Amino acid sequence: MQYTDGERYYSFPAYCRRTFGHKLYKVPLDAGMTCPNRDGTLGRRGCIFCDEGGSGDFALAYHGQQIRRDMLTGERYPEDLQGLCIGYFQAYTNTYAPVGKLAGLFRAALQEPLFAGISIATRPDCMPAEVMSLLRQLKQEYPDKFIWVELGLQSIHERSARWMRRGYELPVFDVCVRQLKELDIPVIVHVILGLPQETEADMLATISHLNRCGIAGVKLQLLHYLRGTDLGEMYLRGEVQPLSEEDYIRILGSCVAALDPGIVIHRLTGDGPGDLLLAPLWSRDKKHVLNRLRADLKERKITQGCRRLL
Ligand code: SF4
């Protein structure tokens, strides 16, 4: 089966056209949050791969102000953006703040004329009952806008979670996904491919778990080795090896084959800050990587879910 945009996987653009009738543009926001892995609650050095920007290096500083077209950079946005954007709370952990502050920020974004809805990137261990109640309430207040939650899982394997200093265990993720599903809030899960100690079978086990969780979307991200991170230091000392392009394309193809065909793939490569990237340098040319993936899927006759793992 091919999707409407001609891809062999369920891409985010295809999902947008099917659901909204047009493309949506992400506007990455930095709401000045922190993270329990950075503020000393769980640690101070962050996840092993995370740079100081908290995975939000291109994000717009956001404090609830109205967004003007000229504030947006980094993507080719059309002139009239009314209702065509997603307010993407990207940097750090966007539910890790007093619930009153979160309510103000999320309400402002849901009232923003540019935004069709918001997507909140966070950690499952930072979703207490009062945040769940807030999301329930906001869904009722803004029925014409959507609310998505993005969870940084990266891997289901506890060994990997400890290695990357993620700071929570898999059941915490599972409970959070169930609670969000009960609220009818779509969940998008971030997965990292190429963790040094993981085999292809390990990565496919993560995909299989996600198929069973009933999530709405996934972001498949190649592990980037960034300057200024502990992982970058390990790379410079020669202790870890990044994936080769060939291996990444093969593993990515296998993940697409294993992934439930109804799960939207929001990302297939990586979006690290180019100036900090130490390795793998081949990943800079995203167009080339995507073209190689397309060729590989065609050659191996893979479409999303053709070898769905449960
Ligand atoms: S990746 Fe996310 S959870 Fe980990 S240190 Fe960075 S901001 Fe915190």
| 75 found inside a domain | yes
Residue 57 confidence (pLDDT): 64
Atom in ligand 1 nearest the alpha carbon of residue 50: 6
| 264 found inside a domain | yes
Per residue in 215-267, pLDDT (tens digit) is: 999 999 999 999 999 999 999 999 999 999 999 999 999 999 999 999 999 99
Please tell me the distance between residue 81's alpha carbon and the centre of ligand 1 in angstroms. 30
- Among 84, 162, 169, 158, residue whose Cα is nearest residue 123: 169
> pLDDT grade, residue 112 (50/70/90)?
very high
Please tell me the distance between residue 173's alpha carbon and the centre of ligand 1 in angstroms. 15
| 250 found inside a domain | yes
- Among 196, 258, 187, 197, residue whose Cα is nearest residue 219: 187
Please choose from 30, 41, 44, 47 the residue to mutate so as to test ligand 1's pocket, defined by most ligand atoms within 8 A of CB. 47
- How far apart are the C-alpha atoms of 8 and 294, rounded to whole Å? 8
Please choose from 33, 34, 37, 95 the residue to mutate so as to test ligand 1's pocket, defined by most ligand atoms within 8 A of CB. 37
3-state secondary structure labels for all residues of 17-28: HHHHCCCCEEEE
- How far apart are the C-alpha atoms of 269 and 278, rounded to whole Å? 16
pLDDT(271) > 90: no
Per residue in 202-229, pLDDT (tens digit) is: 999 999 999 999 999 999 999 999 999 9
| 59 found inside a domain | yes
| 114 found inside a domain | yes
Torsion sign over Cα 155, 125, 38, 120 = positive
Please tell me the distance between residue 169's alpha carbon and the centre of ligand 1 in angstroms. 15
| 178 found inside a domain | yes
H helical segments located in 89-229 = 99-111, 129-141, 158-164, 170-182, 200-213
Atom in ligand 1 nearest the alpha carbon of residue 49: 1
Q: How many residues does the chain have?
A: 310
CATH code of the domain in which 91 resides: 3.20.20
**Dihedral pair phi/psi, residue 300, rounded to 5°:** -90, 5
| 304 found inside a domain | no
Please tell me the distance between residue 51's alpha carbon and the centre of ligand 1 in angstroms. 8
- How far apart are the C-alpha atoms of 178 and 170, rounded to whole Å? 13
Task: Decide: 117 and 16 in contact? Cβ < 8 Å.
Answer: no
Q: Considering its fold, how many domains does the chain have in total?
A: 1
Please tell me the distance between residue 46's alpha carbon and the centre of ligand 1 in angstroms. 6
Per residue in 34-78, pLDDT (tens digit) is: 999 999 999 999 999 998 765 666 789 999 999 988 888 777 788
| pTM of the predicted structure, to 2 decimals | 0.96
Atom in ligand 1 nearest the alpha carbon of residue 91: 7
Please tell me the distance between residue 189's alpha carbon and the centre of ligand 1 in angstroms. 14
Beta strand 277-279 with 146-154 is unpaired
User: Once rounded to an integer, what is the mean pLDDT over residues 178-185?
Assistant: 98
Atom in ligand 1 nearest the alpha carbon of residue 93: 7
pLDDT(5) > 90: no
- How far apart are the C-alpha atoms of 255 and 244, rounded to whole Å? 16
Residues at CB less than 6 angstroms from ligand 1: 35, 37-38, 46-47, 50, 54-55, 92-93, 123, 152
Q: Which two tokens stand for residue 200?
A: 């292809």
| 308 found inside a domain | no
Please choose from 50, 127, 165 the residue to mutate so as to test ligand 1's pocket, defined by most ligand atoms within 8 A of CB. 50
Q: Please give the residue range of the domain that contains residue 86.
A: 12-299
Please tell me the distance between residue 50's alpha carbon and the centre of ligand 1 in angstroms. 6
